[in-house]
Structure 1
Amino acid sequence: MHDIGFQFWEETSNTAQDLSAPAAFALAEHLTGVRSTPELLQKTTFTCGSAKIR
């Protein structure tokens, strides 16, 4: 996870760059083998749903 940009430390400096969003996409690509490109995200139909919690 370090290799794709996740940073693990208890204290961050003011100059530390937040790479959590790019790192999350890199992790998803690593796990699935599917690269998330702007074209893929724009042309894909997404389905959402909800469920009532008892």
Structure 2
Amino acid sequence: MAQYGLSRMYEEGEGVEVDKEKALFWYKKSIDNGNTEAMHNLGIMYYKGDGIEKIAS
């Protein structure tokens, strides 16, 4: 859960500067540990192209 919290902090800039690459890194770590909320949020980042190459729609 801490990894997910870090990813949200970096994505939103809560207490730290916004850093989409670090957010992606921590989302992926959180997903590796079974966090489905992280999977959802990472999917949204991919969909929007938010700090990452956008998935063609």
Assess same fold via TM > 0.5. no
TM range (shorter): 0.3 to 0.5
Task: Give the TM-score, by structure 1 length.
Answer: 0.34
Q: Which has the higher helix share?
A: 2
Q: Which has the larger radius of gyration?
A: 1
